[in-house]
Amino acid sequence: MVRLTREETKLLVDIINKRREVLESKKTDALSNAKKARAWLDVQDEFNSNEFVRKRTAKQLRKSWDNLKMRKRKELANERQERMKTGGGPMPSTSREDFPPEMEIAVPFGRKTYRGSIHSEDPRCRDLFQFKKGTIYQGSGH
């Protein structure tokens, strides 16, 4: 998969922030999982409706979102570590990754594993998850 451009990243963050309560919910019951799967399809449709983007699947967008959150968390952990090294003094300047400001509200969220089942009328929803011994894990995007 080709990495998102800066414009695509900002668009994805904006779209996800509209549906954040559903997409980042910690609930894992069947109804919540179906809502999440449907919300990812809505994200896909809205994202792909823009003419300046490369068309992506819901699974790809979800993987990009997870990667964005992971990189942002890593950056924040590095900043905390650097701050501890200074003993509270001024932090040395570091090269920060260029994240959209909207990512700031996304950092506390994100859960990797979902339990329960998915019941949805839309068959595309099932492609977002892979099944393993009664537990639903987020698709790997491979």
Does residue 47 contact residue 11 with C-beta atoms inside 8 Å? Answer: yes
Going by C-alpha positions, the residue among 40, 52, 45 that lies closest to residue 6 is: 52
Whole-prediction pTM: 0.65
**Where are the strands (E) in 11-122, listed by range?**
113-115
Tokens 């393993």 correspond to: 132
- Model confidence over 60-93: pLDDT tens digits? 999 999 999 999 999 999 988 888 887 766 766 6
